[in-house]
Amino acid sequence: MPHKGHCLCGQTTIELASTHAEQIVCHCTDCRETSGSAFSTNVLAPKKDVKITGPVKEYNIKVPSGNTVTRVFCGNCGSAITHLSVVFGDAQAVQTGNFAEFAKVPITTELFVKDRWTGVAPISGAAQVQAMPS
């Protein structure tokens, strides 16, 4: 089943032509700062399956690995939409907080658990990855 979501103000919509039965939590500093919370929730979707409509802005940041990550967010309300990196190959990370149905999709992997806030417990059954897998 494809997924359709939107930003806080509703001006930017995100459509995923691909189906996702699992999602990822990331505890890295950039994801925390982008989400304004203790972590972000994401899926890796093929770029060809992602359609974003509405006003967006991009922000490029060099991460500790030396790679550049391009953060895409709503140009009106600032909601995080997606981010791209060479590490993802032909995929991109799409923030799942913009999709109502992802509240019921299991989290199977936690990334950058070395940076996890002490008050946030590991998710039972999810793989615990210290940093970005190579």
Tens of pLDDT, residues 11-28 = 999 999 998 999 999 999
Phi-psi region of 128 (alpha: psi -120 to 50; beta: other; left: phi over 0): beta
Segment 46-66, tens digit of pLDDT: 999 999 999 999 999 998 888
What's the CATH number where 30 sits? Answer: 2.170.150.70
Specify the pTM: 0.90
Q: What is the pLDDT of residue 103?
A: 94
Question: In this structure, what token pair is assigned to residue 91?
Answer: 């995929």
Mean pLDDT of 80-92: 94
DSSP 30: H
State the alpha helices, DSSP H only, in the chain. Answer: 29-35
**Is 133 among the domain residues?**
no
**Is 113 among the domain residues?**
yes
**Is 59 among the domain residues?**
yes
Cβ neighbours for 103, distance < 8 A, ≥ 6 positions apart = none
- Cβ–Cβ under 8 Å, residues 81 and 97: no
